[in-house]
Structure 1
Amino acid sequence: MNQYRLIFILFIGLITTTAFAQNKISGKLSDHETREVLPYATVRLLQQDSTFVAGTVTDSLGHYRISDIKNGDYLLYFSTIGYKPKVIQVSVRQDTNLPTVEMESDNVMLEGVTVTGSSFIQKKDHLLILPSKEQVKHSFTGYDLLYNLMIPGLTVNRKDKTVTSMTGKATLYINGIEADAKEIQSLQPKDIERVEYYVLPTNGQFTGDAASVNYITKTYKTGGYITIDGLQNIGYLKGDYNIGAKVSHNNTNYSFWAGHTMQRYQGVETEKEELLSFPDHVINRNTTNNGAAYKNNQQYTQFKVSNDNEKRNLSASFAVVRDETPRNNHHELLNYTGDNAYNTESEDKNRSKSLRSTLNLTGNFVINKHHQLKFRLNGGYTQNHYKRNYTEGELRSVSDVDEDLYSFDGQVAHLFQISPSNSLYSRVTHFHNVTSSLYNGDYPSWQHLWKGETLFQFDYMHQFGEKLIMMISPGALYSAYKAKFEGWYGCELKGHF
């Protein structure tokens, strides 16, 4: 039976920069002698022991505000180039508007000037940050430097390698080309000249992102580097080892990454209580795990080539990832109480293996000052194998699964910059997935799932001054699927939405 359905989505958003919080600190910064305002100065809120709490920068009129502050006593630290740093004490019990803070000029003349703090420069549509020598010195990766910059509203998780802003996940770029976690991890801090931070960008190549972070690096006509890093846990076996290399020649960059991770433990003991509810009775089960054993290893390799100039950015990458868990075993003691109470033991043995390969192509073309064209093509193939053998008393269950997964997605996007404050961003995206699974064991069967989705989206954005953005986002989604099952429960399903 076929069904057709068109889903129409309309989203109208009105976004302002006004925020409400229980406690806020606000104020103004000015020059002690001239009384002129000090724009783009760094303001940090610290605990009494100088632990960092929050930070911001003054706007073009010298005003600052820090929100979401708990009751307590704090230090406010002000700094900007050409002025002596200043610290004041502040007690927060409610919303606090401080008197104007005046900073004294640093008139010491030096043959050379050393900037020790990062410089925040507010542009019309983004924040430009110039890293200091100290921040670069204490950074080893692109994530480290971004963390040390302490950009207000941006959260950097160096462990999980994620960057989020108040508006959502931030997309990361290197010289305008979208980069993945491995590229940012292997980025040399000494090569980073500046960082651009956009929130809900409304024009240019970053349109459509919730937030964008663009690393601007030094340009090398010819050269390269190699990076090696490793992490080894003490107490149980867990290691992560990686190598990366990059070679540049004229406008083309060649990058290579490879790595190996491993984890192994045994003898873990756990205990849990469960309540199993049936229509006519209830059973309590106490489970004690006294023999857990786990072993996993993963290897990956990735190659990427990119080429860019003033009119276009092109990149292509290919990656292979192998993941194997040869042992994931649990031995448990089970104690059932209630109706039909008894004690028994269970043994759960699992192992799995996965091999995934992906190919990614992206391009960005600047047609003229009003039009840009973007495209991306991603394809992947994954082969998985799972096997599980579970016994409980005299009962036994066996599962043996082989899966083949094919995935493809592509997008064509067009940006029409009508005027500096008006833009229209249209895009067509298609997702296609095919899954074929063969089940052996207790219930042999086979299934094949085909699914395709096509999404049409239009984003119209209008900026009112510097503090207000209106976005209208209509869209339409077409989805089609087909599922086929063969085995002890054979059936077939088809549909369109």
Structure 2
Amino acid sequence: MHIFTFFRKSFFKRLFILAPACCFSYVCGLGAIISGIVYDESDKPVEYASVRLSSEDSKYIKGGVSTEKGVYFIDGLENGKYIISFSCVGYESQSIPFEISNDNNLNLNVNLKTTHTSLDEVVVTGDRFIRTADGLKIYPDKQQKKHSGSGFDLINNLMIPGVSVDVAKGSVRAFGGSVAIYIDGMKSDYREMQQLRPEDVESVQYMEAPTGKYAGDNASINIILKKRTSGGYVSIDALQRLGYLNGDYNLAARYYNKNTQYTLYGGIDYNKINGNRLDKQETILFPLEPIDRNYATAGSRMSNNNQYAQFRIRNKNDRRTLRATFNFLRNATPEDFTSYMLTYSGNTIGNRRVDASQNTVTRNYQYNLGLSGNFKLSHNQMIDASASATASRNHYDYCYTENNEAAISNTLENLYNFQGNINYIKNFNNSNSLTIKLFELFNVSSADYRGTDSSWQHLWTSETILFAEYARQLWGIASLRLTPGMSAQVYRQHGHDRVSKFGPRAQIVFTLKPARNQFIQLNGSYGNSYPELSYMNGATQQVDMIQQKKGNPNLKQTKLTTAMGVYGIGFKRLNLQAMLLYNGADDLPLPSYFIEKDMLVQTFDGNGIWRQLNGSLSATWTPSNIFNMQAGGGYMYNRYSRVADLSAACWYATLSANIYLKDFAIFLRGATPQKAVSLELETVKTIWQYSISATWSKGPFRAEVGFNNPFLKHPYYDMNILLPVYNSSSRRYSKTDSQSAYLKLSYYFDFGKKTKHDKVNIDKTINSGILKAN
């Protein structure tokens, strides 16, 4: 598990105390206020409408945007005559003259008329991002949607300041953590994002300070789709890679019947890779005599395959949205084999060379049923609720051999999971809101270990999180979010007493918009996290002839502290964002090694300390609709202590550019190497990453060809572990990091009225509580 997936929230207490003082000059002498609600022709609120205030001679004074409820608010007005203008994509602009006298406040509501221009015909010029109370509202242009093959492609092509997207892995990150993705206000996942057809996207909301139903997220993106009530589609896509054998094939179908939509999709993918290499030197500091081991890879081969299917029903009306989903997933690794020339050396044993090999075989099945709903109780109250149940059956077979000796493990696990979530949201006047959120995660793992070390392990865990968030708008230019809460974990490992742990949680976020094109955010949190199931396992696995791996049922609750400051400014064609981030973790479970009965034993020590400091700068430049560019970079420092004293620091940079030429588009990506210490206490130096791809899109046909690291034949990752009783230095080469090319083709067929189309893929991850030797 990578360290950067471990932390999600932020805390900046000292800076928050200073922040209101920085705003004092805005509070004094506010003057008169003009406020109101922006409606459409049917008296429904228009969200994120642009509001512009100018003098009688049309000189710009200040501006803003309406909230999700259509409310706008402009203060600091002196006596005099003004013009206020309202505009929004899909509506006719409207300008209204008014006068302020005797410092009296004015309430002015407005109704905007709908235009007959399709969003696909809109050409976005000037400011690409509309700043809102909690982030940005973005209307993708026709070229960005046309040359995106998935939801991740689209977010990547939007080049949102401070947001990084790994399209291949399906991850979106901002502010040092993951970004939660929603589609039409309902939580999405990797599968839905890969399925999403960008041409059907109407707009994208990016929330830097999520509130309401999005409360608790580090940052949120809500993708709003065009509304459809009839018709359907069938789509297919296929990807084939050269350089190593990899294929991905998917089929999807969707049908709309008034307020109900039915979706069915499935697919397969496979990998077959030969020639990966791991060369490693390690020293085990046994009390009587250190032993050195030198691994030289003689050969390797790996193959895996995945199959999936999903059926979903969704029904929506003005009062509520209901969704039911059934998933089936199978993944298998029939072979993951590596052979070594292994050399032992020491004062007593001298040099001894042996033939060694290891092979891992896995088979996993997962069934999942999910139910969710949004319910509007009144015009200002809402409940979000979701529940899912998952059953998994995991097979894990491991075999390590040295000459005529072997270490064998055959494990069968049944894993059951339940997740429940309920949110209550109440909106008050002036865009203030209260959110109460309750989350429950329950796991039961039962595993039968057979082989060199046999045992039966049974573990159940329950984790509950409860918090309330109050969000308040301040002075028309700032907002404050206060989120107190608590979490509890109860678990029991077979043969051990039940353990109960409780901990407080708190988050505070202060956001200031000193001008229409600027924002400042001070963000901080204190929270906690609990170890993974496999860490708390009581099993023992034999890794090789002199090494074992053990779980630890007595790990502690990890305490998390985060602090962040962000400043963003946008010009007509250039957007900049600077961020300073601090992450800390105490009582963090980390690998620990000790000697026991002539064996090196790896387990987990729950006393670890981790600190990280990250400063970054991101810039998005859009000189024209043909060319867009995003660049970012910064400095990152990581340090671990107590269990081990390790640190690493590096400068890093990324660059991406998009070129749109009608039916064709070219995409360039690049990233410098990084150096960091992982949760495995391994200091890793990564490689250069760069790629070039091109797409052609015409009607229902789309073709994409790409090249990854075209000039890197043998890229190596350098990895080191330096601990009191165990040291290692290794170099890893993987075919997936070397030069490769791919071709992806897709086609869709509409029936009935035009509808949304999906690109299909799947999250192949199946959870497991098995303690694995490798």
**Aligned CA distance change for structure 1 residues 324 and 478 (closer, same or farther; 3 Å):** same
CA drift of 1:361 comes to 1.1
CA drift of 1:384 comes to 0.7
- Which runs of structure 2 are paired with 1:158-237 in the superposition (5 Å)? 158-166=167-175, 168-203=177-212, 205-237=213-245
**Aligned CA distance change for structure 1 residues 134 and 268 (closer, same or farther; 3 Å):** closer
Unaligned ranges ≥5, structure 1: 1-9, 20-29, 41-59, 62-80, 82-112, 485-490
Q: Secondary structure at the match of 1:443?
A: coil
Q: Does 1:260 align with 2:264?
A: no
486, 493, 496: which is aligned to 2:497? Answer: 493
Q: Secondary structure at the match of 2:157?
A: helix
The residue type equivalent to 2:266 in the other structure is A
**C-alpha contact (below 8 Å) 1:200/1:208 kept by paired residues:** no
State the distance in 2 between where 1:464 and 1:271 align: 59
**C-alpha contact (below 8 Å) 2:134/2:209 kept by paired residues:** no
**C-alpha contact (below 8 Å) 1:371/1:414 kept by paired residues:** yes
Partner residue in 1 for 2:459: 449
**Aligned CA distance change for structure 1 residues 450 and 222 (closer, same or farther; 3 Å):** same
281, 298, 302: which is aligned to 1:294? Answer: 302
**C-alpha contact (below 8 Å) 1:12/1:472 kept by paired residues:** no
Q: Does 1:360 align with 2:364?
A: no
Q: Secondary structure at the match of 2:155?
A: helix
Q: Does 1:336 align with 2:344?
A: yes
CA drift of 1:410 comes to 0.7
232, 250, 253: which is aligned to 1:245? Answer: 253
The residue type equivalent to 1:253 in the other structure is Q
**C-alpha contact (below 8 Å) 1:124/1:466 kept by paired residues:** no
Identity %: 33
Q: Does 1:387 align with 2:397?
A: yes
**Aligned CA distance change for structure 1 residues 336 and 494 (closer, same or farther; 3 Å):** same
CA drift of 1:281 comes to 2.0
State the distance in 2 between where 1:153 and 1:494 align: 44
State the distance in 2 between where 1:368 and 1:419 align: 14
**Aligned CA distance change for structure 1 residues 465 and 434 (closer, same or farther; 3 Å):** same
Partner residue in 2 for 1:102: none
Greater mean deviation of Cα atoms: 317-326 or 439-448: 439-448
152, 155, 162: which is aligned to 1:146? Answer: 155
State the distance in 2 between where 1:177 and 1:18 align: 38
**Aligned CA distance change for structure 1 residues 313 and 368 (closer, same or farther; 3 Å):** same
**Aligned CA distance change for structure 1 residues 255 and 466 (closer, same or farther; 3 Å):** farther
**C-alpha contact (below 8 Å) 1:268/1:290 kept by paired residues:** no
Q: Does 1:282 align with 2:286?
A: no
Count of aligned pairs between the two proteins: 402
State the distance in 2 between where 1:39 and 1:469 align: 17
Q: Does 1:373 align with 2:383?
A: yes
**C-alpha contact (below 8 Å) 1:262/1:298 kept by paired residues:** yes
The residue type equivalent to 1:250 in the other structure is K
**Aligned CA distance change for structure 1 residues 288 and 480 (closer, same or farther; 3 Å):** same
State the distance in 1 between where 2:122 and 2:428 align: 43
**C-alpha contact (below 8 Å) 2:215/2:469 kept by paired residues:** no
CA drift of 1:234 comes to 0.9
CA drift of 1:140 comes to 2.6
CA drift of 1:322 comes to 0.4
Partner residue in 1 for 2:355: 345
CA drift of 1:194 comes to 1.9
State the distance in 1 between where 2:12 and 2:427 align: 20
State the distance in 1 between where 2:416 and 2:484 align: 30
**C-alpha contact (below 8 Å) 1:167/1:211 kept by paired residues:** no
State the distance in 2 between where 1:495 and 1:345 align: 45
131, 146, 165: which is aligned to 1:156? Answer: 165
The residue type equivalent to 2:183 in the other structure is I
The residue type equivalent to 1:442 in the other structure is T
**C-alpha contact (below 8 Å) 1:351/1:388 kept by paired residues:** yes
1:440-488 CA-partner distances (Å, limit 9, x unpaired): 112322111111122221222223245533332222233222221xxxx
Q: Secondary structure at the match of 1:439?
A: strand
400, 410, 430: which is aligned to 1:420? Answer: 430
State the distance in 2 between where 1:478 and 1:130 align: 41
138, 143, 155: which is aligned to 1:134? Answer: 143
CA drift of 1:418 comes to 3.2
Partner residue in 1 for 2:493: 483
Q: Secondary structure at the match of 2:137?
A: strand
Aligned-residue CA RMSD (Å): 3.1
State the distance in 1 between where 2:152 and 2:471 align: 31
Q: Secondary structure at the match of 1:244?
A: strand
Partner residue in 2 for 1:472: 482
Q: Secondary structure at the match of 1:208?
A: coil
Partner residue in 1 for 2:446: 436
Q: Secondary structure at the match of 1:385?
A: strand
When normalised by structure 2's length, the TM-score is 0.48
**C-alpha contact (below 8 Å) 1:286/1:334 kept by paired residues:** yes
State the distance in 2 between where 1:136 and 1:249 align: 26
1:258-287 CA-partner distances (Å, limit 9, x unpaired): 121111122444322111111232122111
**Aligned CA distance change for structure 1 residues 126 and 443 (closer, same or farther; 3 Å):** closer
Unaligned ranges ≥5, structure 2: 1-9, 23-53, 65-73, 76-88, 90-120, 502-774
Partner residue in 2 for 1:66: none
**C-alpha contact (below 8 Å) 2:426/2:434 kept by paired residues:** yes
Partner residue in 1 for 2:728: none
The residue type equivalent to 1:428 in the other structure is L
**Aligned CA distance change for structure 1 residues 119 and 164 (closer, same or farther; 3 Å):** same
CA drift of 1:320 comes to 0.9
**Aligned CA distance change for structure 1 residues 11 and 151 (closer, same or farther; 3 Å):** closer
Q: Secondary structure at the match of 2:242?
A: coil
Q: Which has the higher contact order (CA 8 A, sep 6+)?
A: 2
The residue type equivalent to 2:336 in the other structure is N
**C-alpha contact (below 8 Å) 1:354/1:382 kept by paired residues:** yes
**C-alpha contact (below 8 Å) 1:11/1:473 kept by paired residues:** no
Greater mean deviation of Cα atoms: 352-361 or 457-466: 457-466
State the distance in 1 between where 2:293 and 2:20 align: 53
**Aligned CA distance change for structure 1 residues 478 and 138 (closer, same or farther; 3 Å):** closer
1:334-380 CA-partner distances (Å, limit 9, x unpaired): 11122212111112122110001111111111111332111110110
**C-alpha contact (below 8 Å) 1:261/1:297 kept by paired residues:** yes
State the distance in 2 between where 1:311 and 1:321 align: 33
The residue type equivalent to 1:449 in the other structure is L
**C-alpha contact (below 8 Å) 1:267/1:290 kept by paired residues:** no
The residue type equivalent to 2:449 in the other structure is Y
